[in-house]
Amino acid sequence: MTVTDIVAFDNKRSKVFIDGEFAFILYRGEIRTYGIKTGEEISSPVFNEITETVIPKRAKLRAMNLLQKRDYTERKLRDKLREGMYAESVIDETIDYLKSYRYIDDERYAGDYIRYQMNLRSKNRIKQDLIQKGISADIIEKIVSEAYSEENDDPELELCISLLRKKRFDNENATYEERQKMMAFLYRKGFDGDTIQRALSLDTGIN
């Protein structure tokens, strides 16, 4: 295996290419320690130590550092590790490690997100948010169903009514055009037709 190029990645690290292909990123001090030089051979023991020990350990530490700052879904954490140019095999190993200790758990993430947002956003908007965060459809449906079934009241309807009140919408005296405009607004917020109709049929206390 021949080191064909060493290219600066940032102020402290460089990308190492072996036999014309990107291999890994190392700190410049590590490159000196391992004696890695352009045009020279890299021994199998050194290559294996870097790819099987140094890089995987670094990926785990990077992931743990990210998780100390905030929670991540599996997909979002994978994306962050890809930004660091870690190999997919290293990312897989890192994710498996984190899952084994429940440092990442998409079901827990979805549950926490729903409980925090259910009185602020519509159910459909919450589902869309979770999809964008990379949560699987199966997990979303499961956790949404569980979260909303735990509520004695209908948080979806309550939120819809709350928005009507904020808009100072008078159900009883609104014109047809005003009702249509409000329905369109609520649809855009992610509420389903049944919830909208129920909310518009109730007295919001605005007159």
Q: Where are the domains of the chain?
A: 1-42, 43-104, 106-149, 155-201
207 has a pLDDT exceeding 70: no
Query: Is 1.10.10 the CATH classification of the domain at 155-201?
Result: yes
What's the confidence (pLDDT) of residue 161? 80
**6 within 8 A of 36, measured Cβ to Cβ:** yes
> Given 1.20.120, 1.10.3470, 1.20.1630, 1.10.10, which CATH number is that of 43-104?
1.10.10
Q: Mean pLDDT lowest for which of 38-42, 99-103, 160-164, 201-205?
A: 201-205
Q: How far is Cα 48 from Cα 198, in angstroms, rounded to an integer?
A: 65
Task: Please state the pTM of the whole predicted model.
Answer: 0.71
Average pLDDT over residues 38-46: 93
Q: How far is Cα 193 from Cα 160, in angstroms, rounded to an integer?
A: 11
Q: Mean pLDDT lowest for which of 67-81, 126-140, 146-160?
A: 146-160
Q: How far is Cα 162 from Cα 160, in angstroms, rounded to an integer?
A: 5
DSSP string, 33-91: HTT--TTSB--HHHHHHIIIIIHHHHHHHHHHHHHHHS---HHHHHHHHHHTT--HHHH
95 has a pLDDT exceeding 70: yes
77 has a pLDDT exceeding 60: yes
150 has a pLDDT exceeding 80: no
34 has a pLDDT exceeding 60: yes
Average pLDDT over residues 134-161: 81
- Intrachain domains 43-104 and 155-201 with the same fold: yes
DSSP string, 95-122: HHHHHHTTSS-HHHHHHHHHHHHTTTS-
Of the pLDDT bands very low, low, confident and very high (cuts 50, 70, 90), residue 151 is: low
Average pLDDT over residues 95-100: 94
Query: What is residue 195's DSSP assignment?
Result: H
Q: Which residues of 57-93 are buried (b: 16+ CB within 10 A; e: fewer)?
A: ebbbebbeeeeeeeebbbebbbeebeebebbeebbeb
Query: Which amino acid appears at position 77 of this protein?
Result: L
How buried is 159 (Cβ within 10 angstroms: 0-12 exposed, 13-18 middle, 19+ buried)? buried
Q: What is the share, in percent, of the chain residues with pLDDT greater than 70?
A: 96
What's the confidence (pLDDT) of residue 131? 95
pLDDT tens track for 166-184: 888 877 777 878 888 888 8
What's the confidence (pLDDT) of residue 65? 93
Average pLDDT over residues 8-12: 92
